[in-house]
Amino acid sequence: MAVMDISGRSAARIRAAVSRVDVQELAVLGGIVILAVALLLGTEGFGTSQNLSNVLYSASVKAIIGIGMTLAIVSGNIDISVGSATGLIAAIMAKVMLAHDVPFVILVLIGLVIGALLGCVNGFLVAVLRINPIIATFATLNIFAFGKQYVFGNDSQLLGVPSSLRWLGAPGQTLGIPHAWWIVVVLMVVAWLYMECRPNGRHLYAIGNSSDAARVAGVRVQRRVFGVYVVVGLCVGLAACCLVGSNSVVDVSFGSGFELDVIAGVVIGGTLIFGGRGTVFGTVLGTLLVALVANAVILFGLPSGLFPLVTGIAIIVAVMAGVIRERRRAAA
Amino acid sequence: MNGSSVSEGTGSPRQSAVASRWLPTWSTVWGYVSTERVVLLSAMLVVWVVLMRVLQASGSLSGSYDLSLLLSASYLIVPVTLLALGQMFVLVTGKGNIDLSAGGMVSIGSMVLGYTVGQWDWPAAIGILVAVAACAALGALNGLLAAHLGIPALIATLATSYAFTAVAVLMSPDNPISTPSVTSMSSALAKDVYVFGPERPPVPSLVLWLLIPVVLLTWVAFNRTPFGRRLYGVGVNDSAARFVGIPPKRVRFQAFVCSGLLAGAAAVAMTATYATASPTAGANLVFPAIAVALLGGVAFTGGAGRVGAVALAGVLVVFIHSGLLIIFDGIFGDVYYLLVLGLLLIVAAILNDVLTRRFSGS
């Protein structure tokens, strides 16, 4: 993966992919622009650089996970344990940081390693034991929640967490844009190239369309699926690093409900919920739209309880759009 | 599909005829225990109770694990088992159907009770009817999305779960409703009944007038009505069901409505038990409900599952929970409950999967 082979056939693939830019992605882009303009004209606080970087930061934490989730959903799987996995990793990292003075690089490595381990658990259950991904990740959602509660013990907050991960958190910015967002852009390009140009990446689409057909064609389906869950875990680890970096308080509610926002971003970005279709580019746009909606709820002074309602409706509308387009495609 | 067919041909030819006739082989025992879910669950229940008694004898419990504790904890069985039966209706129809929004429905149902009975002082019976009807309507919404519009049930009910919870919280922006009329309804519905005589420990009345009748009704619905056979039929084979004139979409829709009805019953139970209409009444109920349903042998792939086993699994899970609460101090009982439920869910999923593969004829 270190060196991308972008020549000949791969270049042709990239051109073909660019020419296939999706209607839904354009619609989401349009939605983002319209909402942003409405917020800019309708409220006072939106245009400030503070608010914009906050929106970008909160979008990027979920977009990092969403990029991994896109791989999972495209391959016909799903991971609903990402929220409590985020909370568990954040809790462990906060404990480590409170106990020892650990340098930045080691901390990020710890986050990634724990994330990969949690991903291995999911991958083992789904790919090796062949448990249905919904049931398996629903079980690990609660097992990881147990782990998080266990780490927190009787506390509901860990206070005075050192700021070693500041560079990744909300305050860490270059050119007024949070570093987390730069990471999203890099991850998005890498994941996009992988899914469009590498055989292993193309296999994910094949598995999502029909895992039996993919297996017959020689794809090592279970190995790919295991890998996808490890990638989701790595993304979750990175997102947890960003969360811990932005605050000196790590709360027991960290990460809870993330799965809704992440899945919302993925399906709003045009990824077909049945698998086989979707891009990380759409996911990042979708996540940005979700973050803007959350910001709008706050700026317009609406009750914050409204946000999950809006997100839930948005998911249903987006999935419905995907289902209808797929029916049309099948009929054509 | 019984124990003897499992063990066929596995016995050693050198075994004496007498021994093989009178002593069951290990594979016979395992075949029986793994296929008869009621037997497995009863065995687990016995093992758990014995384990708890041993722990109690060694003095490592913070309370005593006896009949009075189990009977007083049995009010917890009511909402969990009601919701698990709701999940069973949905899971049995197959096609990846699941209802993650049951907790959200319970919260809304509880708030409806809070407004009708608590705020507007309607008679309790009418308030209960309205709450159950509201939950059935929400179940119909799920059914519309999942069965008729073709959205995968996981996504549809995940979305509605957050939406319902949001609505319940928005309905009560300040605090739970616990007016005198709610309290008096609660004391009428949930009280201790001395079934075994005045000296023996009491049984919560919710178990008697709500749980047992509902379990019996559900059993009748699944086993003695055409509707129940249709649910199994659609879950076993969608196309075959269509060819014999069963409309799969309509049956799945009805299954989601049933899940809503049972969520309404659970909302009544939660409100009566805690004498409070709370917007978070259903917050932590979905996971135990799904774990209980799968533990009771309901296959996620559809078409399999029995009411009696699900009810027994509800008892087992609550008895495990009340044991964990006296093994571990403070919040750790509830924390370990999550771990145990997660592990039980995984084991149940694997077991159901193995059995489905073995008996699906492949």
- The DSSP bridge partners found for residue A250 are A158
d(CA B292, CA B295): 5
pLDDT at A91 over 80: yes
Give the lowest-confidence range in A86-90, A241-245, B101-105, B307-311.
Answer: A241-245
Q: Which amino acid is at A40?
A: L
Q: What is the pLDDT of residue A83?
A: 92
d(CA B83, CA B344): 17
Number of domains chain A contains: 1
Q: What is the pLDDT of residue B331?
A: 82
- Note whether A142 contacts B341, CB cutoff 8 Å: yes
Q: Is residue A159 part of a domain?
A: yes
How close does chain A come to B301, measured CA to CA in Å?
9
Nearest to B330 among A139, A154, A273 (CB): A154
Q: What is the pLDDT of residue B18?
A: 53
Closest C-alpha among A269, A271, A235 to residue A255 = A235
Q: Is residue A137 part of a domain?
A: yes
Specify the length of chain A in residues.
Answer: 332
pLDDT at A259 over 60: yes
- Note whether B346 contacts A320, CB cutoff 8 Å: no
Nearest to B162 among A130, A132, A311 (CB): A311
More confident residue, A4 or B92: B92
Ramachandran bin of B51, using left for φ above 0, alpha for ψ from -120 to 50, beta for the remaining angles:
alpha
Give the lowest-confidence range in A222-231, A289-298, B188-197.
Answer: B188-197
More confident residue, A40 or A123: A123
Instruction: Check: CB of residue B86 under 8 Å from CB of residue B102.
Output: yes
pLDDT tens, B218-241?
A: 999 999 999 999 999 999 988 999
Strand ranges inside A189-294, DSSP E: 250-251
Q: What is the pLDDT of residue B129?
A: 95
Sign of CA dihedral B158, B160, B161, B167: positive
pLDDT at B10 over 50: no
How close does chain B come to A8, measured CA to CA in Å?
39
What pTM was computed for the model? Answer: 0.88
Q: Which amino acid is at A83?
A: G
Q: What is the pLDDT of residue A263?
A: 92
pLDDT at A196 over 70: yes
pLDDT at A226 over 90: yes
Q: What is the mean pLDDT of chain B?
A: 86
Could you give the ipTM of this predicted complex? 0.85
Mean pLDDT confidence for B7-14: 44
The pLDDT confidence band at residue B184, using thresholds 50, 70 and 90, is: confident
For chain B, what percent of residues have pLDDT higher than 70? 93
pLDDT tens, B13-27?
A: 444 555 556 777 888
Mark A199-217 as b/e (b = at least 16 C-beta within 10 Å): eebebbbbbbbebeebeee
Mean pLDDT confidence for A75-93: 93
d(CA B360, CA B362): 6
From chain B, pick out residues whose CB is under 8 angstroms from the CB of A141: 287
Angle at A91 (CA atoms; ends A90, A94), nearest 5 degrees: 85
How close does chain A come to B197, measured CA to CA in Å?
41
- Note whether A273 contacts B155, CB cutoff 8 Å: yes
- Note whether B156 contacts A154, CB cutoff 8 Å: no
- Note whether A259 contacts B339, CB cutoff 8 Å: no
- CA dihedral of B111, B116, B119, B125, whole degrees rounded to 10: -110
Q: Tokens 């990969």 identify what position? A: A116
Instruction: Check: CB of residue B356 under 8 Å from CB of residue B299.
Output: yes
Q: What is the pLDDT of residue A25?
A: 79
Q: What is the pLDDT of residue A88?
A: 95
Q: What is the pLDDT of residue B35?
A: 77
Mean pLDDT confidence for B331-358: 88
Give the lowest-confidence range in A261-265, A271-275, B33-37.
Answer: B33-37
The pLDDT confidence band at residue B8, using thresholds 50, 70 and 90, is: very low
Report the residue of chain B nearest A153, measured CA to CA. B332
For chain A, what percent of residues have pLDDT higher than 90? 36
Top residue of A80, A137, A297, A309 to mutate, by most chain B CBs within 10 Å, is: A309
Give the lowest-confidence range in A104-113, A256-265, B349-358.
Answer: B349-358
- Other CB atoms within 10 Å distance of the CB of residue B67: 11
Mean pLDDT confidence for A250-264: 86
Helix, strand, coil content of chain B in percent (nearest 5)? 75, 0, 25
pLDDT tens, A312-329?
A: 898 898 888 888 888 888
More confident residue, A169 or B285: B285
What six digits make up the tokens of B71? 């009977």
Q: Is residue A163 part of a domain?
A: yes
pLDDT at B275 over 90: no
The pLDDT confidence band at residue B362, using thresholds 50, 70 and 90, is: very low
Specify the length of chain B in residues.
Answer: 362
pLDDT tens, A130-141?
A: 899 999 999 999
The residue extents of the domains of chain B are: 78-283+298-305
Q: What is the pLDDT of residue A19?
A: 62
Closest C-alpha among A322, A263, A253 to residue A84 = A253
Q: Is residue A31 part of a domain?
A: no
More confident residue, B102 or B173: B102
pLDDT at A2 over 50: no
Instruction: Check: CB of residue B65 under 8 Å from CB of residue B323.
Output: yes
